[in-house]
Amino acid sequence: MSPPENPIDTAKKPRVGAILLGAGHSARMRDIDKIVTPLADRPLISHSTDTFEQSSFIDLIVVVVASHNVHRVTGLVQGNGWRKVTNVCIGGARRQDSVRAGLEHLSDCDLIVVHDGARPFVSDEIIATGVAVATEHGAAVAAIPVSDTIKLVNNAATVIKTLPRDRLWAIQTPQVFNCDLLQKAHREIHGDVTDDAAMVEAIGGTVKVFGGSNENIKVTTPEDWAIAQGILKSRQMRLG
């Protein structure tokens, strides 16, 4: 099963919808509901939503959250004047279920950008690059080269082999896809996956990587929260 790459006609500006994911259970945050917890003086989800709202490459935004946060995030949309946010919808049990929920509101788009709402430091440059690469190739994911040595181990914690570091990339979001390609992947792949790129790969799609950022971290643990605060403080100092 090998669908052809389905890039967008570059003669016209693609209509781009973004799905911001914030429906996780924050299990590793020690019961802190990270999406609505303030980083500096603003809820975590606000940082990435602002970036997508202000990006000239994004036309529509759907924010996917847990059911108990729908009212809270809807209030943030109204309070911040996020005009591109067309829906705040309830996510599913798995990440891919939440993406599918967002897709239901973005069927009229050429490209879909999927981004973790817990990555507050995404930049407009990263978004722009992802849109450009996906426009040409059909699927593109932000990533950074792995700097540590990576070893494959078995269930007994015994090293099987050392993997070639020069070909290993740590995958981030945003991940950008041709809308038809992503919808096809969600129709055909039902097993658990870690990201949407894996679904596209499973149906034979080609996925390109493009440069992410070391600052584009995902806040998953309390330690990540401390790192995020440090990044934010560093940025504020650089801007004077």
What confidence tens digit (pLDDT) does each residue in 15-54 have? 999 999 999 776 565 667 889 999 988 999 999 999 999 9
pLDDT tier at 10, thresholds 50, 70, 90: low
Q: Which amino acid is at 7?
A: P
Stretch 98-119: mean pLDDT, rounded? 96
What is the reported pLDDT for 228?
95
Stretch 62-81: mean pLDDT, rounded? 97
Whether the predicted pLDDT of 208 surpasses 70? yes
Helices (H), the chain: 44-54, 70-80, 95-103, 124-137, 179-188, 196-202, 222-238
Q: 196-207: per-residue pLDDT in tens?
A: 999 999 999 999
Residues sharing a CB contact under 8 Å with residue 103, sequence separation 6 or more, in sequence order:
19, 112, 182, 183, 186
Per cent of the chain over pLDDT 70 is 92
Domains and CATH numbers, the chain: 16-238 (3.90.550.10)
